Structure 1
């Protein structure tokens, strides 16, 4: 049995960014806690962790809860750590804008061989720091179009909840952070210890990176061809592909695809795709301060004035009017 002086198998820096989401942070950390010791003693024996912040004090989450900083960059000996896990902020653009402040920390860690992990929107920060060049990235489906528009040369793997690409690891966030923690721990501590505590967390099993969310599995209610078409609509949001090309990718004719969409959604495939684009525009207006031109480009709509026209027809007000009714989405710093 290990003694208290035994060096841990894995040593982790947890770096929550301003306005980080508590769900992936708490899930990842609690999985570390269960693996770190025998039974449920919560001692940091088999793995250790420290909460890293730019300055002493605390970091506020998107829900308003503060997490206390345990270590600052001036106190770090990077040789003492194996992984640095960054937890993304609520707003992707604001997270990306943190690059000048965090670049030195991240590059120093990478230079000392520390593996960099970006969870949720933290991939925007690592990409802005030039640390994801030539790498594959898994991120939340809500942010795929925005990331592709901001970093077109970085490959996004849209069918994975997390992705290991050498010493760069990415995760879509949410409860997938638990699955990522299991996989990281399994590679270092063994699968038995990595799975320890899942039942206590009321988690049935560790999901693989390619696990398909049932909550997004619309094939159950719409059928295989329609479900596949809708998945393609999301992943090809900014493309110039036509509905005819979409039908060909699904493996059926355009007429057959329209019949299926009329039966399941009461509209043609083209009209449904337009609806997907408009809903994306609405969500981006709500969750970012990007220009309408940028958002239009993400949604595959080249003409901003045309976007304004169809947005008003669909939602009863222009994008500018819609935005004026919203509170500020950017965190106060």
Structure 2
């Protein structure tokens, strides 16, 4: 379990300690949500479902041990990135009635409006009252936009790491953990990681058994610690170079139909020579070799964790056929895919 958030800077005479805010009768954990326009429905739903399943016996959904409320300044439906709207339940009101306020972000684009002035003021009142704030998915961007992440470490998805560096100078976002707890700010990369952050809060306030129950019903493995690496594009490559990150992303997105390095360079607006120079400087490997290693890494993963045929794995990883995969695999790994699978079967 991640370390308990630091409390030394909290004046207990002026504000309650982190996680001890008054809550509705019978509830041990109360969460208010602010949904950004075009928020990510998956990240929101995963977080809420952990609370819902922990709040009651079985999956009866009664908000007994936990309660959750979607807040708004206008009460207009908020449309998610997939188009499904969510209707707010209450106006903003007093943030001190919640243990946590969670901002759920979504799509990033040039006309991203950010939070309304009323929501920004509400979040500042929450911070002034000692209510911990959480940013889910690109909610971290929005907390920083309104000046509430200065001096904090924050978690962003590897997918948006370069965007964060470009938009928000002066911060050091963490893109290699599933969530980050820094004092009274909690951030996560979205997707399944929002379920793990919610489980962390349930564990803290309600109990570990309830946290694990929620995840198991959702068919998610046991709760992950904050330091668990994000699954993502790098496939073992760690870099902060935005050009290398974007090239690796293009490779990952086209792993079954490999692009040439020239095509990748054109797609991200750089020359092939620039791409090669950045890969050599940052990873000490050519982009061509990195792409092959990425595909072989996926092939090894599929060989040891699935029952797919070697021929199908070859196609999934961008090789012409099983013979092509075997030749490249033997050249780079010193053994054949069949040998890897047999070793796995006997281990």
Contact kept in structure 2, 1:138 and 1:172, CA below 8 Å: yes
After superposition, the C-alpha distances for 1:66-103 in whole angstroms (9 at most, x for unaligned) are: 11110012xx2322111001110312554464353421
CA distance in 1, matches of 2:176, 2:235: 15
After superposition, the C-alpha distances for 1:154-211 in whole angstroms (9 at most, x for unaligned) are: 1211211211011111111111110110111111122112112222211122222222
CA distance in 2, matches of 1:262, 1:30: 42
2:121 to 101, 104, 127: 104
2:50 to 17, 28, 31: 31
Shift of the 132–69 alpha-carbon distance from structure 1 to 2, 3 Å rule, reads same
Shift of the 12–93 alpha-carbon distance from structure 1 to 2, 3 Å rule, reads farther
Higher helix content, 1 or 2: 1
Shift of 1:23: 0.3
CA distance in 2, matches of 1:86, 1:141: 19
Shift of the 183–28 alpha-carbon distance from structure 1 to 2, 3 Å rule, reads same
Shift of the 60–214 alpha-carbon distance from structure 1 to 2, 3 Å rule, reads closer
Contact kept in structure 2, 1:52 and 1:69, CA below 8 Å: yes
1:114 to 98, 107, 131: 131
SS in structure 2 opposite 1:114? coil
After superposition, the C-alpha distances for 1:33-85 in whole angstroms (9 at most, x for unaligned) are: 01111222211111111111121232111111111110012xx2322111001
SS in structure 2 opposite 1:51? strand
Q: What TM-score results when the alignment is normalised by the length of structure 2?
A: 0.63
1:22 to 4, 17, 41: 41
Which residue of structure 1 lines up, in the alignment, with residue 98 of structure 2?
Answer: 81
Which residue of structure 2 lines up, in the alignment, with residue 166 of structure 1?
Answer: 183
SS in structure 1 opposite 2:214? coil
Which residue of structure 1 lines up, in the alignment, with residue 12 of structure 2?
Answer: none
Shift of the 147–118 alpha-carbon distance from structure 1 to 2, 3 Å rule, reads same
> How many residue pairs end up in the alignment?
243
Q: What TM-score results when the alignment is normalised by the length of structure 1?
A: 0.65
After superposition, the C-alpha distances for 1:268-321 in whole angstroms (9 at most, x for unaligned) are: xxxxxxxxxxxxxxxxxxxxxxxxxxxxxxxxxxxxxxxxxxxxxxxxxxxxxx
Q: How does 1:1-333 map to 2 (within 5 A)?
A: 6-73=25-92, 76-91=93-108, 93-95=110-112, 97-98=114-115, 100-216=117-233, 218-219=235-236, 227-228=237-238, 231-234=239-242, 254=284, 257-258=285-286, 261-263=287-289, 265=291
RMSD: 2.8
After superposition, the C-alpha distances for 1:244-266 in whole angstroms (9 at most, x for unaligned) are: 7865765xxx5xx34xx544547
Shift of the 207–194 alpha-carbon distance from structure 1 to 2, 3 Å rule, reads same
SS in structure 1 opposite 2:216? coil
Shift of 1:234: 4.9
Contact kept in structure 1, 2:178 and 2:230, CA below 8 Å: no
SS in structure 2 opposite 1:33? helix
CA distance in 2, matches of 1:249, 1:215: 18
